[in-house]
Chain A
Amino acid sequence: MANPIIQRELITTLRQPRAALIQIAFVAALAALVLAVWPDTATVNLGGRQAQQLLSVFVYGLLVGLMLMGPAFPAMAIVRERQRGTLTLLLISPLTPMSILIGKITGALGFILLLLLLSLPGAAACYAMGGISLQQLAVAYGVLALAAAQYAMLALWVSSRVKSTDGALRITYGLILLLSVIVLGPRLMTQGKDLAGITAVVLVPQQYIHAAADWLAALSPIPAVMQIVGHESVGARGLESQIDPVARYGIMAGITIVLCAIGTLLRLQPKVTDRPRDKGMVTDEQTASVRTYRRFMYLFFFDPKKRTGSIANYENPVMMKEFRTRTFGRAHWMARIIGICLIVSLILMLLATVGTMWVDIGYMGGVLVIFQMGLIILIAPAMSAALISGELESGGWTLLQMTPISARTIVVGKLLSVAWTLLLLLLATLPGYGVLLVIDEGRQGQVMDVLISLSLTAGFCLLVGAACSSVFRRTTAATSAAYMIVVGLCIVTLLPWLGEGSLFGRQVVEAILTINPLAAGLAAMHMPGMTEYQLLPANWIFLGVGSVLAALVLWLRTWELTKPQ
């Protein structure tokens, strides 16, 4: 091959046991999916309804698989080079930044495309059932390949900007959630609605708001996939856009890819290594004017450059250490995140208040549940998956072992550091429920059920992430595993819901959804489409048992790690 990086990236990726594991798991999951929905009688619906539903489950499954597995390798591709010091070697070699970029992206995409190729037998099975055209399949695969390229380039850009591999993975998953799901929110809220009240406030014509929401939603491959499998597009009630969602996604994905490529190329310049060491500026040492300015801007308490006090005797030192060392654990970042949550919550309140004329209150509550669950799913595993493995990787674990701190103090301190953060974030999103209760007092019981579900889900995600961090020695592996478990539970188990009626019976779907905390929260809130399922308290029991098991794994592994070899 002309580009040596392509060869090295592909070979090293395919050599990893993780790559083989992913391929096997991917094919096994697809095979299980097709087998589960394959008709056990000799009769097939001539209208192709069964095949269409099988295709929809299949394509959604592939998309979720791409979201989960696709970024794993490209997110580490550049940051790992930097950590090992090999990025400098590449930059001083005759390879141009463009050839490095092409090598990296081709290597990453090669693996993802291999996964897509492995799924072809499953697609052939869908086609064999009849009712699906080859063109439909080709477009579906085209969109999936484009989504793979979009995610890979995004992951590569993140990889070029961050300092740690686990940080790269966390931010990439967060951005993928943003690009794939959260961008659908505005369209979900505005499509087909009369926005006269809002246009009066923001002074922007309605059609521009609708168009902006449409184009924003086109960043996600989901509307395009919905179009291909014949589902109603997201929020598609009333007005529909004239532009084909597949074409629109092609444009937006292309723009994303180009922007991320430019961003990555800018980071692959030798000047990125030309940086002095941080001088460790402290506000307390600055001139009076700078001190006053920073104290005003950061309200004193949130100034990241001010000297911190000693850890008090009554405080858990491990918890305090976690707060100080984690980027988002520092006061100024916490304040920012909580502020964002408050603002989003207030916007939802506003929409709930002005939108009750045209939106079902359960629908608005459902949006709030999705927002909060999304926050938990995104943040909890990311924070907890580094708790133990991060210490093992940095060498801090040996140092902790050399102190008189007990294993219990270490574990409790680490868990509390994440639990407090999650609690603050959830509290910041609660005002929305207050408004819901003002509008409809009768929903008090539902809100209580949702709050219990949210709390249990947060605890479950936290403990699963922590258990993964104790099982895996590397944070990247722990983070990937935690996301796969949590996202798999919340998203993958929704797939049978899409095929209810022809592929799966209602009882089967309800049984599967029982383990899905998101579905349980939506059902508790009586979100349209989820009202007929009785998922509580079975879901709470599942989450409780799962949390206990995860805590047990965490405890056993921590005990094992702290005892002398």
Chain B
Amino acid sequence: MSDQPVVKTVQLTKRYGEFTALDSLDLELRKGQILGYIGPNGAGKTTTIKILVGLARPTSGQAYIDGLDCTTDVRAIKRLVGYMPDVFGAYDNMRVREYLDFFGAAFKIPQKHRATRIGEVMDITGTAYMSDLYVEALSHGMKQRVGIARTLLHDPSVLIFDEPANGLDPAARIDMRQVLLRLAEMGKTLIVTSHILPELSRICDVVAIITHGKLRAFGTLDQIMHQVRQRRMVLVTLAQGHDVDAMANLLREQLGPDAEIKPSPQEQQVRFSSTADDEQLSRLLAAAVGAGIGVAQFNEVPLDLEDAFLEVTGLGHAGAGPADAPTDAPAEQADEETDAAEESTDAEAESVAEGEAGSEADDEQIDEEVEVEPAEEDDIEDTDENGETEKPKT
């Protein structure tokens, strides 16, 4: 992989009036990397993408693709980037080949080369058999693949996919994952947004987690896990007939008040989280066996991207409200944003009004390649039925 970043944003900020959709975003992505760009609805993902593809202008900061400024070199950027929005953009009465031919002509691919190019992208995406089908009659998974074929037509170096796995069945998701990996193997740089985090964790080289327009974590999956994993979760399964409460009492004695212990007699299991290291855990297991407790399994529950996401965004904390919930933004603004979202897909992603949630974390510096800022509970506010905000109950 080249050392030069293919995609780079510097203090990228976008405001709509008083509402900050994107706040000082710093990202770097190198050739052939796949970035999993994740965040709740309204976090600022689509705003970032729109700036990168030249559909929106930043309020401040810069965005570059292959060294070209996304604000001033828009025409050149269009040739470098293939963008698949979350809305497919089907045309009635058009067969797949006609559809691709139109976009090929729009990208000024000469007529004599176009058929060959269309054949190539259909092979890459596995859509050759759909050639004569009508676009509007395709299933969602088929449309997504045709959408990818469309983005590849002009052979861009950077591909941006907005929710490509959304609404796909498991088989289609596996197909999608393979297509994306194949594209990365071809040297393409990919930015993929998704809510389906297990999917992303299988294909991404780097992950960026964003909430309320602010980058919360950025780095490889391992780096993020390492930062997030401050407490480890262990699951103890007991043999039939052994007392779950006895095990729970033993754990309390050994780990002290800091540990969170959840016995589940119905499942013959005890789940606990603590900061204990490997040595302490082995002593704990020996103590249990020594006390005559029949331990059938003693496993550390692995942390996945979903847990990391919940941890970083603060959504994993009991009582925390949704990260995209409207908070104390002015009511008019919230209405405006909602209307805008109904009116167009443009506003959809960033339409949810955001308030001061995350403000404390916002002020902190992100000064390393890997920064993890677990959102504090106070960052997230609940919205009650009357639309009024209140602090989390925890």
Interface residues of A (CB under 8 A from B): 163-164, 277-282, 285, 307-308, 310-313, 315, 317-318, 320-321, 324-327, 330, 392, 394-396, 398-405, 473, 564-565
Contacts and interface: CB of A to CB of B under 8 A. Distances in A.
B346 interface: yes
A280 B137 contact: yes
A426 B50 CA distance: 44
A280 B134 contact: yes
Nearest to B86: A395
Contacts of B114: 310
B115 interface: yes
Given A278-B134, A279-B133, A402-B53, 12 more contacts: A280-B133, A311-B111, A315-B105, A321-B94, A398-B55, A399-B89, A402-B78, A403-B78, A403-B106, A404-B107, A564-B50, A565-B346
A320 B94 CA distance: 11
A333 B344 CA distance: 32
Nearest to B14: A565
Contact of A404 (B78, B97, B132, B344): B78
Contacts of B110: 313
Given A317-B102, A473-B343, A565-B346, A325 B53 contact: no
B78 A473 contact: no
A400 B103 CA distance: 8
Interface string B94-114: 110110011111111011001
A310 B104 CA distance: 9
A395 B88 contact: yes
B156 to A, nearest CB: 10
B93 interface: yes
B124 interface: no
A473 B115 CA distance: 34
A404 B56 contact: no
A164 B105 CA distance: 27
A403 B55 contact: no
Contacts of B91: 321, 324-325, 394, 396
Given A403-B78, A404-B78, A564-B57, A282 B132 contact: yes
B54 interface: yes
B93 A403 contact: no
Interface in B26-80: 50, 53-57, 71, 74-75, 78-79
Nearest to B139: A277
Given A313-B110, A313-B111, A320 B132 contact: no
Interface of B: 50, 53-57, 71, 74-75, 78-79, 81, 83, 85, 87-95, 97-98, 101-108, 110-111, 114-115, 132-134, 137-139, 150, 343-346
A396 B89 contact: yes
Contacts of B57: 564-565
Contacts of A325: 91-94
B85 A398 contact: yes
A290 to B, nearest CB: 15
A404 B75 contact: yes
Secondary structure call for the A interface: loop
A564 B111 contact: no
A322 B90 CA distance: 13
A324 B107 contact: no
Contacts of B94: 321, 324-325
Contacts of A327: 92-93
A400 B106 contact: yes
B55 A565 contact: yes
9 contacts: A308-B98, A327-B92, A394-B90, A395-B87, A398-B87, A399-B85, A401-B55, A402-B81, A565-B346
B350 to A, nearest CB: 10
Contacts of B104: 310-311
A480 B308 CA distance: 51
Contacts of B137: 277-278, 280
A395 B136 CA distance: 13
A405 B75 CA distance: 9
Contacts of B105: 310-311, 313, 315, 317, 320
B133 A324 contact: no
Contacts of A320: 102, 105
Nearest to A278: B137
A472 B293 CA distance: 72
A419 B248 CA distance: 81
Nearest to A473: B343
Nearest to A398: B85
B56 A564 contact: yes
A325 B89 CA distance: 13
Contacts of A392: 344
Nearest to B90: A394
A310 B111 contact: yes
Leading 8 A-B pairs by shortest Cβ distance? A395-B87, A317-B105, A280-B133, A403-B106, A395-B89, A311-B105, A278-B137, A325-B91
B85 A324 contact: no
Nearest to B118: A310
Contacts of A164: 92
Contacts of B56: 564-565
Contact of A403 (B87, B103, B138, B343): B103
A164 B139 CA distance: 19
Contacts of A315: 105
Given A313-B111, A400-B106, A402-B83, A324 B346 contact: no
A398 B89 contact: yes
B39 to A, nearest CB: 20
**Which residue among B102, B150, B343, B345 has the maximum number of chain A CB atoms within 10 Å of its CB?**
B102
Contacts of A311: 101-102, 104-105, 111
A399 B103 contact: yes
* Most B C-beta atoms less than 10 A away, residue of A279, A318, A330, A565: A565
B85 A395 contact: yes
Nearest to B142: A277
A410 to B, nearest CB: 9
Given A310-B111, A564-B57, A404 B79 contact: yes
A310 B102 CA distance: 8
Nearest to A325: B91
B50 to A, nearest CB: 7
B363 to A, nearest CB: 28
A196 B107 CA distance: 64
A338 to B, nearest CB: 19
Contacts of B95: 280, 282, 308
Given A310-B105, A392-B344, A404-B78, A330 B93 contact: yes
A324 B98 contact: yes
Contacts of A399: 85, 89, 103, 150
Given A282-B132, A398-B55, A565-B55, A310 B103 contact: no
Contact of B132 (A285, A312, A473): A285
A279 to B, nearest CB: 8
A320 B101 CA distance: 11
Contacts of B344: 392, 473
Nearest to B76: A404
A278 B93 CA distance: 11
Nearest to A391: B89
Contacts of B345: 395, 398
